[in-house]
């Protein structure tokens, strides 16, 4: 069987996890009992979330849903806009920046300009304002809103990272779970993300057994695909095929939850010894000293056959910088990721469209 790395639990923190679990249990019960009120809306509201901290691939899966839905519906995306510099409700337009929207909403608006993208920490208010627009969305996607129970979505998709199975994890702070594993029962659909492409039939059976989805739940498996390289600063600079990385010296700069999958992909084209890494925290806002470090690290690579590679999420922050010299701009690329279903891709779209039609 193909397995990810062992899940590390900090056992000495388990007493604090039990306390955290009690708080989560009481909060959820307050919603169940009606003490805390949720709001439902009369259009399809699809929540894409998880029960863990760290990256499970919410943004790529949201983008995949946009790609599927925008052929038939006017799609809206509502996010809280994590680490944005603005406040309250902000509707994205062609002049918006990542500082106003946050990394992921800006990325989505940049890739899907026809999509109605908005950010608001108060999801109820955000949905009301989107529905009050002159041309409101017909379907709203809630990005990372599973714990935001003040809105009751019409359909919930929970993502689980193949490399850190939720059924082996523990609640914060001993583990990375924001909700107990039992919260998975509240999902209409579960997607195991970041799977190896070479997943075997026995792997599907074992994971399906361990997740133990209910009869009313759909279970899918996805992986990430890397299509090519794109310049962070586009002015006259061409896209590149992945083969451009063959035996290249790569400075990999990342500010994401985990760069392991990307690093694994790069090793298909070049040697480990040719890859240098600058790793920053997730959603990191690059400062002048960080730019100087990137420039210095790149200049210290003793080869002309070199490139700086960043993730798409990091690119939306770096493209705001005006302190990169021209040589760095010419060698600074990002590598977009796309979601690929390992099986039953048509079934996924069918289930989503069936749900939307049932509400309409």
pLDDT, one tens digit for every residue, the chain (360 residues): 666 566 789 999 999 999 999 999 999 999 999 999 999 999 999 999 999 987 788 999 999 999 999 999 999 999 998 888 899 999 999 999 888 999 899 999 999 999 999 999 999 999 999 999 999 999 999 998 899 899 999 999 999 999 889 999 999 999 999 999 999 999 999 999 999 988 999 999 999 999 999 999 999 999 999 889 999 998 889 999 999 999 999 999 998 877 888 898 999 999 999 999 999 988 788 999 999 999 999 999 989 999 999 999 899 889 888 889 999 999 999 999 999 999 989 999 999 999 999 986
Residue 109 to residues 23, 95, 105, 138, 322, Cα–Cα distance (Å): 36, 11, 6, 17, 22
Spatial strand order of the sheet with 332-335 comes to: 230-231, 332-335, 306-311, 249-254, 275-279
Overall fold of domain 228-335 = Rossmann fold (3.40.50)
Domain segments of the chain: what residues?
11-73+138-223+343-359, 228-335
Task: Please count the residues of the chain.
Answer: 360
- CA-based R_g, the chain, Å: 21
What's the whole-model pTM score?
0.92
In the prediction, which pLDDT does 333 show? 97
Residue 183 to residues 13, 35, 169, 276, 289, Cα–Cα distance (Å): 21, 19, 13, 40, 42
Query: Using an 8 Å Cβ cutoff, are 310 and 267 in contact?
Result: no
Residue 141 to residues 59, 91, 261, Cα–Cα distance (Å): 11, 15, 26
Under DSSP, is residue 224 helix (H, G, I), strand (E, B) or coil? strand
Largest CA distance in the chain: 65
Under DSSP, is residue 18 helix (H, G, I), strand (E, B) or coil? helix
Residue 125 to residues 132, 153, 178, 181, 221, Cα–Cα distance (Å): 11, 14, 24, 29, 33
Judge whether 11-73+138-223+343-359 and 228-335 match in fold. yes
In the prediction, which pLDDT does 8 show? 83
Q: Which residues contact 232 (CB under 8 A, 6 or more apart)?
A: 310, 315, 318, 319, 329, 332, 333, 334
Report the CATH number of the 11-73+138-223+343-359 domain.
3.40.50
- Tokens 């035996």 correspond to 247
Under DSSP, is residue 193 helix (H, G, I), strand (E, B) or coil? strand
- The C-alpha atoms of residue 59 and residue 97 are separated, in whole angstroms, by 17
In the prediction, which pLDDT does 3 show? 61
């Amino acid at each position: 069987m193909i397995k990810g790395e062992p899940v590390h639990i900090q056992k000495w923190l388990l007493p604090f996890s039990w306390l955290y679990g009690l708080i989560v249990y009481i909060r959820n019960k307050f919603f169940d009992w009606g003490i805390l009120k949720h709001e439902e809306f009369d259009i399809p509201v699809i929540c894409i979330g998880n029960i863990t901290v760290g990256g499970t691939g919410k943004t790529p899966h949201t983008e995949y849903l946009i790609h599927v839905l925008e052929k038939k519906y006017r799609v809206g995306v509502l996010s809280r806009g994590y680490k944005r510099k603005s406040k309250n409700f902000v509707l994205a337009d062609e002049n918006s920046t990542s500082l106003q929207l946050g990394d992921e909403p800006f990325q989505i608006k940049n890739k899907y300009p026809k999509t109605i993208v908005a950010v608001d920490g108060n999801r109820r208010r955000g949905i009301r304002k989107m529905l009050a627009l002159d041309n409101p969305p017909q379907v709203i996607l809630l990005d990372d809103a599973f714990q935001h129970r003040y809105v009751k979505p019409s359909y919930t998709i929970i993502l689980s990272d193949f490399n850190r199975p939720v059924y082996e994890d523990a609640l914060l702070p001993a583990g990375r779970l924001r909700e107990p594993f039992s919260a998975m029962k509240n999902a209409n659909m579960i997607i195991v993300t970041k799977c190896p492409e070479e997943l075997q039939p026995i792997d599907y059976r074992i994971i399906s057994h361990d997740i133990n989805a209910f009869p009313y739940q759909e279970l899918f498996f996805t992986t990430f695909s890397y299509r090519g390289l794109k310049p962070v600063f586009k002015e006259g600079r061409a896209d590149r095929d992945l083969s451009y990385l063959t035996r290249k010296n790569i400075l990999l700069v990342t500010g994401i939850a985990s760069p392991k999958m990307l690093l694994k992909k790069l090793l298909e084209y070049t040697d480990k010894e040719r890859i240098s890494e600058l790793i920053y925290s997730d959603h990191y806002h690059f400062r002048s000293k960080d730019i100087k470090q990137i420039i210095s690290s790149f200049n210290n690579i003793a080869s002309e056959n070199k490139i700086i590679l960043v993730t798409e999420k990091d690119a939306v922050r770096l493209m705001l910088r005006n302190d990169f010299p021209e040589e760095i701009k010419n060698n600074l690329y990002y590598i977009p990721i796309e979601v690929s279903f390992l099986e039953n891709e048509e079934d996924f779209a069918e289930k989503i469209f069936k749900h939307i039609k049932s509400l309409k």
